[in-house]
Structure 1
Amino acid sequence: MLFVLRDKLVPLFIFLQSVLCGCADDQGRGNFDRVSQNYAVQQVGRMVRDEVVESSGLAQANAEGDLWTHGDGGNTNNLYLVTPQGDLLRTLPVRGASNVDWEDLALDRQRGHLYIGDFGNNANKRRDLRIFRLSGPQFTRVDTITFRYPDQRKFPPKKPRRNFDCEAFFFRDDSLYLFTKNRGKGNWVKEYHLPARPGQHVARLADSIRINTWITSADISPDGRTVALLGYGHVYLIAPQPGRRLFDGAKSCLPVAVSGQAEALTFVNDTDFVFSNEKGRLYRATRKPAN
């Protein structure tokens, strides 16, 4: 009964948030302008939940538009290759990698490395945060990046300071950019950087901003001109500026109330992206031509 009630109330909450709450409290960093008129958003497919359980990350797999995805924490250590419409093409076990709490995928498009973020940390008490780097034919080589946050002192911290969960990251210029899912006070999203190479690392806190929803996935466009952060009810779009902090760039947001509890996002070209929700529905946001 509780699960049925939750399933009914969550979409309503997300819809109200997208309509009533605005895009963000930017604290003087520039406005998040709504860009609903610039995109066409439509459902393009659905993954079968009996085949792909709790899809939590997406990455472009090939030029045909097929996608890699994976299950959420506690599920198998499998990658799933699906069509743009969500039909399962292949199941690929990732040998040598266990799924404590896989939350997102990041792609090094130049080298073909695929990164799996095993950094879900709901209780803010994990000391085994890690990212798997997959390479080689059929992703047969698996290297591990372990890390910690420089500003975390207690495991877990007191409830208002629990901002060390993460469900979103992307690859850029030999670094990984991580974004927190704030379970504490203040709605601050923190941005950390990590070297995209195996070893033990201390993440570097690079920036932060207030966003009034949880961030559940991230990606950067192939041309590097747009960063997308997926939240419940919104996709936040940032234009990085050379030599500046990420959140100093021009910012906009796209309300996507129809998406429900969205969990994964990836760009499919320089302007368009696909995202999915916990029920496996796939949506595509297509940039409209300029008038």
Structure 2
Amino acid sequence: MRRRWQYLALGGGVLLLVGLVFVGVLGQPVDTSGVLLTPTARVAHDPVNEQSGVVASRTYPGLFWVHNDSGDTARIFAMDRGGRVVIPEWLEKRDFYVGPPSADKSKKPYPGITVDLANNIDWEDITLGDGNLYLCDMGNNGNARRDLGIYVVREPNPLSVHRTRVLGWVPVEYPEQTEFPPRTAWNYDCEACFWFRGHLYFITKHRPAFRLQVPSVDANLYRLDQMNYDRVNPLRKIDHHDNLGGWVTAADMSPDESCLAVLVEAPVQSVWLFDTPPQGDQFFQQAARRLVFHGAGQAEGLCFIDNETLMLTNEGRQIFELKVSDFKPASEVSRTAKRKAPR
């Protein structure tokens, strides 16, 4: 989530929200409960300047797809587990470099893979399914957007190409939303998507109306049942969680589809692991494990490296790794790390 100017139409007038300076803003204290995380790597490539979503490639083992937050051009990067951005060899020899600035002043920093026919209004997460990348332009801080959707891109070969194009744009909407923005709760922002059994899923990020920096701790789970390119597709609400400890900023399914990982930000940073339901897809009703932590900065990216390890990334280019074996039953963690969102 980039903190920026947002203009919202309301009752025929215009409300201007200015970063952190507006009525209702409440600064969030740093919560130091749980495990102190230490980075395992850093993305040392300047164009990756506000890393948001991340997902492990299934076609190119050991590589991970990442993208920047809103305000960037429409592009994606592939990197390895150590944060090194991948570039086609022929481009690196000729025009570009990756990593720290090159001594060869004729070379420029590699700009990543351009996604033609796309715009990054507010890309917040990325996921993979059926050989496609799904770029989720679902960021909606002010709950006023009516152009939410997902770009569908065939997964490119990051060792060979530097441009690709979208297969299609899937426009979506929340059927429950009738005001833009609503006058009460703002429950139509989303920074977390994942693929499960042939469907895209989305977990919403909530806040009180007109209080941009005040998190609500509940969340809704939606499923996309249709993927039409020529009409708006309604999202179906299928589940709800009353208290995740903060707002949701990323999610991913384990490679074996045994559990769903959900990254939660302020006021308490944590990752939840929800067991996959024996039937259906109401993940929030299943047994859960949780790891509470601090020291991860503004963490907005989460994906499974393998069934036993998670990668967590933040907007400061840091990379962290979490072991599934370190997670405890959520009921035990809640007794020692219970927090309420500020009112």
Q: TM-score when scaled to structure 1? A: 0.82
Of the three residues 144, 148, 172, the one matched with 1:125 is 144
Of the three residues 260, 271, 276, the one matched with 1:227 is 260
Of the three residues 267, 274, 278, the one matched with 1:238 is 274
Of the three residues 151, 170, 184, the one matched with 2:208 is 184
Alignment partners' CA distance in 2, 1:231 and 1:98: 27
8 A contact 2:203–2:222 mirrored in 1: yes
Say which SS state the counterpart of residue 256 (structure 1) adopts: strand
Of the three residues 258, 271, 277, the one matched with 2:314 is 277
Matching residue of 1:30: none
Q: Whose relative contact order is higher, 1 or 2, with alpha carbons under 8 Å and at least 6 apart?
A: 1
8 A contact 1:95–1:142 mirrored in 2: no
Of the three residues 49, 68, 85, the one matched with 1:71 is 68
Structure 1, unmatched stretches of 5+, are 1-5, 7-11, 20-35
1:192-271 maps to which residues of 2 (within 5 A)? 192-195=222-225, 197-199=227-229, 200-210=232-242, 211-232=244-265, 233-244=269-280, 245-271=282-308
Is 1:152 the counterpart of 2:144? The answer is no
Question: How far off is 1:153 after superposition?
Answer: 0.7
8 A contact 2:226–2:233 mirrored in 1: no
- Give me the identity figure in percent: 31
Q: Deviations over 1:248-276 (max 9, x none)?
A: 11012111212121100111112211010
Matching residue of 1:43: 39
Alignment partners' CA distance in 2, 1:153 and 1:213: 25
- Which structure carries more helix by proportion? 1
8 A contact 2:251–2:302 mirrored in 1: yes
8 A contact 1:168–1:218 mirrored in 2: yes
8 A contact 1:80–1:89 mirrored in 2: yes
Matching residue of 2:126: 105
Question: How far off is 1:286 after superposition?
Answer: 2.3
Alignment partners' CA distance in 1, 2:155 and 2:291: 36
Question: How far off is 1:195 after superposition?
Answer: 3.1
Alignment partners' CA distance in 2, 1:48 and 1:15: 28
Of the three residues 193, 197, 206, the one matched with 1:169 is 193
CA 1:196–1:82 in 2, change beyond 3 Å: closer, same or farther? Answer: farther
Matching residue of 2:54: 58
Give the number of aligned pairs. Answer: 259
Say which SS state the counterpart of residue 29 (structure 2) adopts: helix
8 A contact 1:14–1:261 mirrored in 2: no
Alignment partners' CA distance in 2, 1:116 and 1:178: 12
Q: Deviations over 1:119-149 (max 9, x none)?
A: 1000000000010111165554431111100
Matching residue of 2:86: 89
Say which SS state the counterpart of residue 247 (structure 1) adopts: helix
**Bigger Cα displacement from structure 2, 87-96 vs 123-132:** 87-96
Q: TM-score when scaled to structure 2? A: 0.70
CA 1:162–1:289 in 2, change beyond 3 Å: closer, same or farther? Answer: closer
Alignment partners' CA distance in 2, 1:64 and 1:42: 25
Which segments of structure 1 move beyond 4 Å, counting only runs of 4 or more? 136-139
**Bigger Cα displacement from structure 2, 126-135 vs 258-267:** 258-267
Structure 1 vs Structure 2 CA RMSD? 2.5
Say which SS state the counterpart of residue 94 (structure 1) adopts: strand
